[in-house]
Each structure stands twice: as C-alpha cells, then as structure tokens.
Amino acid sequence: MLIVIAGWLSAVLVFSSFFMKTMIPLRTVAVCSNISFITYALLGLKYGVFGRVYPILVLHMALLPLNLVRLRQLNELLRAVRHASEDETIRSLVPYMQTETHAAGDLLFQKGDAADRLYVIEHGRVRFTEIGQLMSDGEVFGEVGLFASQNVRTLSARCDSDCRLHTITRQKVLELYYENPRFGFFLIRLVAGIVERQEVAEAARHA
C-alpha cells in the first residue's frame, strides 16, 4: 500500500538524518522527511486511518516551514561569507571589540610577552621595532595571540603616532565563535586573509 511505502520512506529519511555531519544536508533531509510524513498522514484519509495519524500531519506541517527558513538562512550566510571583502570581515569584529587610545611612543607589547589579543588600527601608525615594519589605518596585527599555539609575542609593537585601536581578546573570540555562527565564518575569512598576506609577503621577499 502507498501509505506503508510513505511510512517506510519517512522512517528512512529520519534515520539518515542522524548520519549528516553538516547543517545544509541535515536541513535538506529534514525538509524531505517533513514532506514524506505529510504525505503519509494525508494518505491516512484514503485508507481510513487519518484519526490515528493526524498528529503527524500537524507536527510536520509546523516543522516544514521552520526547516525551509533555516535552510535559506544557511545558504544566505554562506553567500555572504563567500562575497565578503576583508574590510567587511574586519568591520564585523569591531562591535565586539574594546577601543583604546595611545600616544606616540607608547609600547603596546614587547617580544616575549604573552599574546592574548588582536588589534585593528582605526587611526594612527604602529611600528614593529625589531624589523621596522609600519602598520597604518585599517590594518590588523597581533593575530598570533588568537591563532598561534605558542601564545608569545615574536616582535615588539610601539605606536609611531597617536593611535586609536580596537582590540579583542582570545576569550571573547571563543565566546563569540560558539554563540554566533556568522561570526565564526567571518573569523575564518579573517584568518584566511592574514595567511594570504603572509604568503604574498614571503613570495615578495624571495622574488
């Protein structure tokens, strides 16, 4: 009977959802499962058992739009991340950061210090004293504090002019990563941008 086929198909879809490791396939299978269960319940009208299966219809009629909305949100998130520029990625961090102002000559950190935060320069210039490298408006530095295993500064950083900086700690990043999937995706983009810049700089030095 069709109702038996629909029932078994629904059961198989639910079972297969437990093997999904990522959200988009999981939501896609959930949508198919909702449709299959709705079909199963409606077939109850034909076979005279609707009175026993109508709670299934109510449940999956409610779950179907929810799963469709969540699936659309996931796809929109992935599109936003794919098309986001590095500037947009950095701006996504700023609302979660603290703002600091420093005078010219202030030492931000020195080689060997514990590295526990990332910096974004809103205005001003910062110099790495050991190598003479200069960072300016919109640039990111101190990322080792978030992404390296040693958690120790490998260079010293001093304000070359009056500076206004945004900072975010490792702990805050971890909190936001678990609370907000969108932040997690943008953080991955930020790390990728940092790695890409380092590779370009390394290639330029050996050119």
62 shares a domain with 23: yes
Give yes or no for a contact between 64 and 31, defined as CB atoms under 8 angstroms apart.
Answer: yes
Q: Which of 52, 81, 110 is the last residue of a domain?
A: 81
Give yes or no for a contact between 41 and 64, defined as CB atoms under 8 angstroms apart.
Answer: no
19 shares a domain with 113: no
Q: What is the pLDDT at residue 164?
A: 94
Q: Which of 81, 108, 135 is the last residue of a domain?
A: 81
| 82 pLDDT more than 80 | no
**124-159 burial: b if 16+ Cβ within 10 Å, else e:** bbbbbeeeeeebeeeebbbbbbbbeeeeebebbbbb
90 shares a domain with 58: no
CA atoms 134, 165, 84, 178: torsion sign: positive
Model confidence pLDDT, tens digit, residues 151-183: 788 889 999 999 999 998 888 877 777 766 666
The rounded distance, in Å, linking the Cα atoms of 144 and 157 is: 13
90 shares a domain with 75: no
Q: What is the pLDDT at residue 3?
A: 82
Residue 152 belongs to domain with CATH number: 2.60.120.10
Please give the residue range of the domain that contains residue 16. 2-81
The rounded distance, in Å, linking the Cα atoms of 6 and 12 is: 10
The count of domains in the chain is 2
Token pair, residue 8, equals 């078994």
Token pair, residue 54, equals 């109508």
Model confidence pLDDT, tens digit, residues 44-59: 888 888 888 889 999 9
CA 146 from centre of chain: 15
User: Of 81-85, 133-137, 160-164, 193-197, which range is least confident?
Assistant: 81-85
- Surface-to-core class of residue 173, CB atoms within 10 Å of its CB (0-12 exposed, 13-18 middle, 19+ buried): buried
Strand partners, 168: 118
Mean pLDDT of all residues belonging to the chain:
82
Strands 117-123 and 140-141: antiparallel
